[in-house]
Chains A and B, each alone.
Chain A
């Protein structure tokens, strides 16, 4: 029987969409490469680049320490790379989920069903978060085992730190989903955004090397606070709530962006049904 309860209308569909994406993704053999090989090989080039720039005797490490606040450049770069991968996978899976739905041919069917359309995006985001978990664990385990990543902080605190970025991520992906419904194609936007984030948020280098204007812009992006938080906990230890200001900024901006994303998505949903942009490819 059809139920109108909040659980049946939203929560159950969210988990069903997430389960669907996890099931489909893991049925492709390439998932193994994405989860077990890519996270291991991806940070290598950055670490070797860092070693090259440090010079044969590591004299560059001193200036790196002055800029980054740590001499542990490999942990710094590995955490940055993993966050870059985290954002990347979420953009592709969560942000482009409705575009994938269009190209797959299931978009129109979903939109004629009584399910909340937000549930489709939230479910896809949940799936991408869950699928992200595997490469993170693989990479952290591998680099910790070979001694390139020194985990000073506890894994519980790292997970808590990751949870603080979820509202921001959800809001961001809702805005992104609205864009993909309106403009249909957003692949190039993903490419641009991940590069911009990688530069302004200092994912692969200390933020202090940027010109002051770009540093200010970067400091306003919640993702910058997230990478700082994760790096600090991984490299220096401590608890998430020792960084109350960053946590408050991440959660506050995340909740605001989620509300904005939900409104934008709803407005676009109505507008494309009127204009006809909801159909076609």
Chain B
């Protein structure tokens, strides 16, 4: 069964700028013809840098925004024509720390939101007990939300999202702002939600998070999906056995040319960050001996400070597909 079917979803925003007598209209396409389907019981991630269109996409699916074109159906219900039916089948967790009422207790918050979901009191109280026990916040039911840690608040937000027992949950950057321990704990919870048979659509710009959690990932860049599959297949599609990451003080252009001559069929991508050159080498053909590589780099007056040999990651897939790093995709083009 298909939980969510998205077809050619597009969103344009029009803004006006300049003085009233010389008003200019500017149209920005935030999401540009995105299509995907999520079978029931899957964790599907939209992965991309800030500004890629993930949040706009999720806001359309959450019925907060109306698409400019295209359509999406939640268990067969159209998100525009049947918005109320969609809102009963799906809940959304949008980013931001203050999606709960801080001056209400956890129980008061959950009862309040249950009333807005149209749930009856007996069902609500049973569900609150189940969910707060499941997420380990049952002992906080009487505490004001302002007294909770960020991680505990995020768990209460998930309790809120699961109150009406939805078929589909949209999670927009759920671990943003959490410390590593809380983020890890929350990822375990998200997997447990999937194990209960729920479908989860997740947006994140953390590559490891998408890799660790998702059954399938769509990499989104400039409002378009550039590739989509399971993390394992995406990494295999790189056609690289391993990745060598070098940090050097310099990486002259001649070095790249020499690399191409010496190690044909392999790719080296270099970028400057924090005053260091970071070189990513995708080993696609044969083996590259580190000693030989270091010797070649030294010939050009460069000094290697760090060498790491890793399995390909989703970040490498992203770089391969877009030519940019996730953190710097908004601004810095790569030096090659």
Contacts and interface: CB of A to CB of B under 8 A. Distances in A.
Q: Name, among B11, B59, B116, B160, the residue most crowded by chain A CB atoms within 10 Å (CB to CB).
A: B116
A contact patch SS: helix
Chain A contact-residue range equals 20 to 34
Contacts of A19: 112
B99 A106 contact: yes
Interface in A75-100: none
A24 B112 contact: no
A273 B118 contact: no
A24 B104 contact: yes
Interface string A4-37: 1000110011011001100110011000000000
A112 B63 contact: yes
Interface stretch (B88-96, B183-191, B200-208): B88-96
Given A2-B164, A279-B59, A113 B117 contact: yes
B321 interface: no
Contact of B112 (A3, A16, A276): A16
Contact of B91 (A112, A275, A278): A112
Nearest to B100: A106
19 contacts: A2-B118, A3-B118, A3-B120, A16-B112, A23-B104, A23-B108, A24-B103, A24-B104, A104-B98, A109-B92, A112-B64, A112-B92, A113-B87, A114-B88, A115-B116, A273-B63, A274-B66, A275-B13, A276-B11
A1 B119 contact: yes
Interface string B125-149: 0000000000000000000000000
Contact of A16 (B63, B87, B103, B115): B115
Contacts of B117: 2, 113-115
B329 interface: no
A266 interface: no
B62 interface: yes
B104 A115 contact: no
A74 B3 CA distance: 67
Contact of A113 (B103, B113, B123): B113
A236 interface: no
A8 B97 contact: no
B65 interface: yes
B84 interface: yes
Contacts of A276: 11, 13, 65
A105 B102 CA distance: 11
A273 B115 contact: no
Interface residues of B, number: 36
A9 B119 CA distance: 9
A110 B96 CA distance: 14
B55 to A, nearest CB: 9
Interface in B51-66: 59, 62-66
A105 B96 CA distance: 7
A71 to B, nearest CB: 47
A246 B153 CA distance: 51
Contacts of B118: 2-4, 8-9, 12-13, 114-115
B115 A109 contact: no
Contacts of B96: 105, 108
Nearest to B59: A279
A179 to B, nearest CB: 19
A143 interface: no
A106 B101 CA distance: 8
Interface in B144-158: none
A2 B119 contact: yes
B64 A111 contact: yes
Given A20-B101, A113-B113, A114-B117, A108 B64 contact: yes
A110 B64 CA distance: 10
B305 interface: no
5 tightest A-B CB contacts, nearest first: A105-B98, A16-B115, A114-B87, A115-B116, A8-B118
